[in-house]
Amino acid sequence: MSTERPDNDVTGPRRRRTPLAVASVAAAVLLAGGGVAYWASTTPGVGTPADSGSASRDKAPVLALDAAAAGPATPGDPSTPPPGIAPGEPDPNGPPVVYRAAGQLPDGPDEAAVHRATGTVASAEVARLARALGIPGTPRTVDASWVVGDEDGPGALLKVTKQAPGTWTFARTIPTKPCDPGKMCANQSPPEADGQPVSEKAAKAAAVPVLKAVGQDDAALTAGQLMGDVRVVNADPKVDGLPTYGWSTGVQIGPDGKVAGGSGQLKALEKGDTYPVIGADAALGQLNEAGKAKGDGGRDIGGCATPVPLEGEPIPSDPQCVPSNGKRAPVTQTVEDAEFGLALQYVDGRQTLVPSWLFHVRQGTGGPESTVTQIAVAPEFVGKPTAPTPSGDRKATSYAADGRTLEVTFWGGVCSTYTASAEESPGQVRITVTEKPQKGGACIMIAKELKRTVTLEKPLGDRTVIDAESGATVPRS
């Protein structure tokens, strides 16, 4: 059998297959909804980078990773990480995890490139998606987004941020009838699911026009997720021939076979810098080493007299509490397979697909399968992630830009008024959100997501947006 690689193989020279190292230290995994585990680990940790050409080593800049919050791992799934936990950070309420491989690791490349979307979304791109969704009308500008459809009444609404990657959301709205003041009307609540979901085959067929409009008609599709009587088609595209994680498009198909909602990214990805990468065995070592660094194999959970046993020790008959130095026993999860691909990270505040190993993990015997990702870029090219600031200290959480218009998103109280201002320099824009509490009267302590628009002196361009209070990079929404 020939061992020559095809001309279109752009992943770099293949490395020799190596035996899988069995990891023996602890790590932790962030659990997302629907049985999907997503850990985009960023710790450089252990492992020797593979030999590669000098071009990528001489020219590739260090990846400045951010600890910015990402969205749900699966489009259409409303689940999000627990509050205050950034992607790549273990859930402090869960036990540590040890990952052990069931067999040999697959071969991997010696180098691979990052990919990101750049520029702005054109009106024609939005119109093409609107036609696929069956929405009449012409795209119009609302703050830093394109909007097509009826925003206030019955019908359908498509919203696309103008700045790359062009995050889009679509929903069909429910007609409502006027309600007499002081009366509860039946149509004030969404109707209960009373239909039968369409088949997976029918759902995939209905999603094809939408996926084609966003350039993902060749993506791998799954349609097993249900939201009541709505079936969700999740599309995971291949980029440069590599599988992706975190860049999915979700299309919701109603029981009538029509598209009821969806979300994804509209702007096409572009190839960036090429980096030397490590093998899957070294990446698995990093995954476990990261957990060891988080707490030396366990978490001090405090209490009183009875310690929680370590792995292999008998369980006490009455384990009511633990001493202040007690450690939770690590949970072993089996890595059944691994593949080299691209996983979503925030780099300099921008969504970027970074070369990564995608580990397919089984939770216990016969348990659900999940995917855990680990950055594969050689450690010397990975910068330390920016630490997230305490909740409440950082007001600006994301932004969208359209020329000189900057739309800032932040969390605030319902009983205050807020304004946003910007201080500009050649390399960055510093955003300040100012709060003015209301005077007198009772106030409900409820936080809500708010947006304010700032007009810049010059278009944002490639400048970095910084939150002035925390000094942290603000990611694009």
Amino acid making up residue 69: A
Q: Which of 75-89, 189-203, 240-254, 309-323 has the lowest mean pLDDT?
A: 75-89
pTM of the model: 0.64
For the chain, the average pLDDT equals: 73
- What CA–CA distance (Å, rounded) separates 224 from 219? 16
* pLDDT for res 18: 39
Chain centroid, CA 254 distance in Å:
25
Structure tokens belonging to residue 213: 């409009």
**Mean pLDDT, rounded, for 343-369:** 85
**Omega before residue 165 within 30° of 0, cis:** yes
What's the confidence (pLDDT) of residue 468?
84
Categorize the per-residue pLDDT at 445 as very low, low, confident or very high, splitting at 50, 70 and 90: low
* φ, ψ dihedrals at 200, nearest 5°: -60, -40
**96 within 8 A of 28, measured Cβ to Cβ:** yes
Give the whole-angstrom CA distance, residue 190 versus residue 463: 43
Count other C-beta atoms under 10 Å from residue 78's C-beta: 8
Residue 126 has pLDDT above 60, yes or no: yes
Q: What is the largest CA-CA distance in the chain?
A: 81
Rounded to whole angstroms, the Cα distance separating 379 from 275 reads 10
pLDDT at 368: 75
The pLDDT of residue 425: 87
Spatial distance between the Cα atoms of 94 and 92, rounded to a whole number of angstroms: 6
- Split at pLDDT 50, 70, 90, the class of 67 is low
Residue 77 has pLDDT above 60, yes or no: no
The set of residues, in sequence order, having a beta carbon less than 8 Å from that of 189 and lying 6+ positions away, is none
Q: Which residue has the tokens 């001090």?
A: 300
Confidence of residue 32 (pLDDT cuts 50, 70, 90): very low
C-beta atoms surrounding 228 within 10 Å: 14
pLDDT bin (cut points 50, 70, 90) of residue 255 is: very high
Please, are residues 151 and 138 in contact by the beta-carbon 8 Å criterion? no
Chain center to CA of 426: 30
DSSP string, 91-123: PTTS--EEEEESSPPPP-BSEEEEEE--SB--H
Sign, Cα dihedral of 90, 96, 101, 105: positive
Least confident of 28-42, 211-225, 293-307: 28-42
The pLDDT value recorded for residue 58 is 65
Q: What is the pLDDT of residue 20?
A: 36
Q: Which residue has the higher pLDDT, 474 or 126?
A: 126
How many CA atoms lie less than 13 Å away from 98 in the CB half-sphere?
18
Segment 415-420 mean pLDDT: 86
> Backbone phi, then psi, for 421, in 5-degree steps?
-140, 165
Where is 286: in which H helix or E strand? helix 280-295
Answer yes or no: are the C-beta atoms of 60 and 52 closer than 8 Å.
Answer: no
Residue 76: predicted pLDDT: 36
